[in-house]
Chain A
Amino acid sequence: MKKLTISLLSLAGAGLIIASCSDDDNNDTSRTVTKSEVVANYAKIVYQNYKDAYDDAVELETAINAFTANPTSAGFDTAKTKWKEARESYGTTEAFRFANGPIDDEDGPEGLINAWPLDENYIDYVDDNGTIVNGGIINSTATVEITKEYLSALNEDGGEKNISTGYHAIEFLLWGQDLTAPAEKKAGLRAYTDYLDGSAAINQAKRRQYLNVVADLLTDNLDYLVKQWEEGGEYRTVFLALPVDIALQNIYLGIATLASAELAVERMDVALANMDQEDEHSCFSDNTHRDIYLNFKGIENVYEGEYGNIDGPSLEDLVRQANNQVATDTDKAFDETEDDIEAIAIPFDFAISQGATSTEGAKVKKAVLALQEKLGANLLAGASALGISVTIE
């Protein structure tokens, strides 16, 4: 049991803090909510989002299995489409990370699901400046049976981060390396014949097997999260039993860390600073711009208490009850940050390719600063207005 020695300011009189009885109404009817209601609504959202991610991953697995059973160009495209669709529901779940939840605790499957960078050379052939290197498990001459157990064991060997399973492993197997210049705005161009017996490729059977296995592992790992968060699920029970300020602190840690650190810095600023074409998370499919947007959307979902059909008590409601000004500022921050993110050129490797001082790079930098200085800062101000103390990287 972790002992949290964070100071929690008392909320005494918070209900009294009304910055101004302004009636500059937005059209939303403000609810009066309790912290417990907000926590309960959050749990509903988390469950539903993981469930959607799981369902989409099942569709992806189905498409992959259909493709490997009978490799065709059309089937390959369907699998790729399903992959991108699956990323739409997964991307928003990243707002539940960094929140002391089951996704990234000691036994958490985050690394098995979304690890980056991928050790391509560990999986399959790679192109080394025009020379094909036929390496990896797929091309290995050692007789190994590629099974879920085998890959899981490899990836858990001695504290190593998982490098060969998850969404990006599937992405690599479907798209291959992105070998074109960023200005061409093309993704990886792997041929479906890599999986077709009798083609010019080698080790097609092992490649099919690998793809099937990682797709299967993905749904297993997402299912674990669904089960943790469903009604009566192990973590949901723990979460709902937490002292309400601790639960809220966890929620805030998740969205604030994602906004200010993981998304803004790790995924955007670092890529921009490195100017390295493939220092982007969905580098094979050139889908990183969606990852970025969806991470933002996930934060917004949590803050507004809305996801899919769910629209319930939210942090926004609590913040508005505590300090109307901060709530208004936060709304503005969300709007401006969203605009800045949407202004970034697509694909992302093109946007970052010339660095922070280029026209496109400057737009990325603007979004980074918006995430940190507008969104992140306002989220923390909101937490503070509720008496929740949050220190993030």
Chain B
Amino acid sequence: MKKYVYALVAASLFIAGCSKDDSSDYVPLSAEAGEEFSGGVATVSNATEEAFGFAYNGLSASESTDFGVGNSFFRQSWVSAPSSTTARDGLGPFYNAVACASCHFKDGRGRPPLYDGELGRGLLLRLSIPGMDPHGGPLADPTYGGQLQDNAILGPIIKGQIGITYETITETFDDGTSVELKKPIYTINNLGYGSLASGLMISPRVGNQIIGLGLLEAVPDAAILGFADEFDNDGDGISGRPNYVYDIQSNSQKLGRFGWKANQPNVKQQVAAAFSNDMGITSYMFPNENCPPGVDCGSIPNGGTPEIADLAFDRVVLYSRVLAVPIRRNHNDQDVLNGKKLFNDMQCVACHKPKMQTGDSYFISGYQNQTIRPYTDLLLHDMGENLADNATDFLASGSEWRTPPLWGIGLVQTVNKHTNFLHDGRARNLTEAILWHGGEAQAAKEKFKKLSAKEREDVIRFLNSL
């Protein structure tokens, strides 16, 4: 592997931090000590297609068994009721996928369909109409509910199918090269239960990788709020703000931190919602099926009340919390470090915060007081018109999205055999993902476009090291 040695071209882009003592010598960049341990103590040394599937190695023996059970329930398919495998039945009646692992294959990231009618690969559509539900959340379509399940068990009529057409947006770099971005336009076809409500808003979302979630849970609210600057008081053009969402178990509003619009307060509620909405599996948190008017779900055999036993559910939640973060690859390479420096200089770090501390009260003691590097502030940011879905979600506006953590993105290709990024996988690689940035991120995107090809490659190399 050739190491590139070159002088940095002075430009207004680069915040001068280089020593000028000996301008004829190139000063190599160096990594921060320990920065390769993105997940702190919950970092795993693996870069294969299994990289997202390892437990934090500090679990107790009984937690390990719980992890194993959770893993089993995550990977194995749910089957329709009634079935001999009573622990695993109750799928649907309406669902997007038969297993968590369908959309989060190997605990990784889903993707949009490759062709019309391809199901269960990771894209779903949230549905809402103008207004708010009693808890301040999105108001569901009266017939089709808050999410389109595009599949069903044998028997009931399928609610509808996702249709996608594409418009092209061309972005051109300063060096003349151009990139064609594909903007998806969503429709719902073959409606099974009548028309969609007028004013219906569709929010497309792909399944995200499951690593490091407990670590993110362990970050104190105050730390996240400390990153916020809703009214851009510091005048840097960045105005991250928290989403406050409904927490079922406490029946109160809590800081949201999970989901593409930070609409879930904790891992448990995220998992419960996914079981219910994505697979039609009821749990103690979501005991009701998603039934369109005219369908009597009570008359369709179910998998028990609830369909996932409490203990099994809690084990899936534990599983989802303790998947370790893969160690950085090539974090010491000069190209990667150069990319990291550019990432910083372009102010990508204003939202993709490199580093934060977990608190001292998480129930997994090993997760306390850890330095983690998720590259996110977990806050909402206006990302501009092109990325907007025009669908609100609690306090998130139709053009706001949560900064997603970047840890693991360099392994999505290896684990999931694709490089589809952003909330609906519309970006077909990381360069496209950057070019989609708008709104608060417009300035950073413009800086990226000014970079030379080599510099852009370095930024991508850096991102791929995460």
Contact = CB atoms under 8 A, between A and B. Distances in A.
Given A158-B118, A161-B98, A391-B54, A119 B79 contact: yes
A266 B67 CA distance: 10
Contacts of A24: none
Contacts of B103: 159
Interface stretch (B41-49, B169-177, B348-356, B385-393): B41-49
B30 interface: no
Contact of A279 (B82, B87, B151): B87
B154 A158 contact: no
B329 interface: yes
B119 A160 contact: yes
A274 B105 contact: no
Interface in B76-117: 76-77, 79-89, 91, 97-99, 101-103, 105, 113, 117
A121 B71 contact: no
Nearest to A115: B77
Nearest to B417: A106
A121 B54 contact: no
Nearest to B49: A2
B46 A160 contact: no
A273 B117 CA distance: 38
Interface string A111-142: 00001111111100011110001011100100
A266 B64 CA distance: 12
Nearest to B80: A121
A160 B120 contact: yes
Interface string B131-155: 0000000000000000000010111
Interface residues of B, number: 55
A279 B76 CA distance: 11
Interface in A1-34: 2-6
Nearest to A128: B82
Contacts of A135: 80, 154-155
Given A119-B80, A160-B98, A276 B86 contact: yes
Interface string A149-172: 000000001111101000000000
Contacts of A5: 47, 329
A118 B79 contact: yes
B69 A270 contact: yes
A370 to B, nearest CB: 14
A159 B102 contact: yes
A265 interface: yes
Interface in A21-74: none
Interface in B318-338: 329
A6 B47 CA distance: 7
A121 B66 CA distance: 29
Given A265-B71, A270-B72, A273-B65, A278 B79 contact: no
